[in-house]
Amino acid sequence: MNNIEIIEQYMDVFQISYDEPNADENFSVIKDIFPKVKRVKNIKGFDESHSYAAHMSDKDYILILDGDLRITQDIFDDFSEYIFLKGRPEKILNDKGVTSWCSKNIVNGLIYGNGGPKIWKTEVLKRVKSHSSGKLDWIGEISYRQMNNWYGYSVINATPYQAWRSGFRECLKFCFDNNSCKKLKNPKKEMQHENYIRMIFWMNLGRDVSNGIFSILGARSGAWELLVDHVSHDIILDYDILKNYYRERYEFLENNQEELEKYVHSLGVKLRKYFDFDIYEFNSLESEWIKKFIHNHKRSDISLEKIPLEETLIKDNFKNKT
């Protein structure tokens, strides 16, 4: 029995996609690594699409890969070596919920659980009801085990809208109290420190890549519109509503670079003034340089030590930038 047959004894592999413009290309990469990968496409609702995948599986576990995730070969190599061939899946896999690994964000260089591969207990995934009940995420609602290896690139910048949506959703979620729907009154002080640093990376880095400025726009507008304009959190739970929101407010900026930069800058000024966020206007060269120093831990074991956050790159080296 070869490695892929051993893995397939335990789990099915699914890509779940909705409207990601690079989903087909990413699916081809998955298929080269996991030839029997299945696909769930265009099913509305986070819970609904994931539950649909679970009901298509007859395995104990199910590996879920997002439509904008481009996985790397070492996901197969490490899973084979450290989970299945050594006969210790029970030490890694979570029979009460989900085990999540990291991805590397192609725009801001962050490496954490957002957009990463996830192995679910199939029976748990069949019953998941977090988003449809108004919650922002599965974290806090089910048993959630976060691992620190990264196994692919979160490619969120194929279009301006995709880049904006990713930044908007993530930074709006950061400004809530954990997974509740209660806004933070003083987000810089009340937010978990790691989440604050991640939010600041979203709000500052990306001008060196295609459509990266729209990711920055999304990050800044997501926080501002929640904290000040009081936009409902429900907007990020429905991609169709969110797309209409973008079209009404931001799509016109796609053809006006000067206005786009002014708008992004004005949001940064307001976020610094009212919330003391560490906002800077890094140009493309500065953004590229900073990302070189985000810690890239080795990927040679399934459970590595915690990833250090390179917060001083922004807080200290560029404290006088405006």
Average pLDDT across the chain, whole number: 85
Residue 44 to residue 250: CA distance in whole angstroms: 23
Burial (CB < 10 A; 0-12, 13-18, 19+), residue 318, is: middle
The mean-pLDDT minimum among 179-183, 189-193, 217-221 falls in 179-183
| Residues 142, 133 contacting (CB under 8 angstroms) | no
317 versus 188: the higher-pLDDT residue is 188
320 versus 38: the higher-pLDDT residue is 38
Residue 225 to residue 222: CA distance in whole angstroms: 5
The mean-pLDDT minimum among 85-94, 167-176, 193-202 falls in 85-94
Structural Rg of the chain based on CA atoms = 19
Residue 203 to residue 206: CA distance in whole angstroms: 9
pLDDT tens readout for residues 17-28:
999 999 999 999
Domains of the chain (ranges, CATH numbers):
3-154 (3.90.550.10), 160-315 (no CATH)
Pairing of strands 118-121, 97-105: antiparallel
Pairing of strands 143-154, 61-66: unpaired
Query: Does 101 score more than 80 pLDDT?
Result: yes
Residue 320 to residue 62: CA distance in whole angstroms: 48
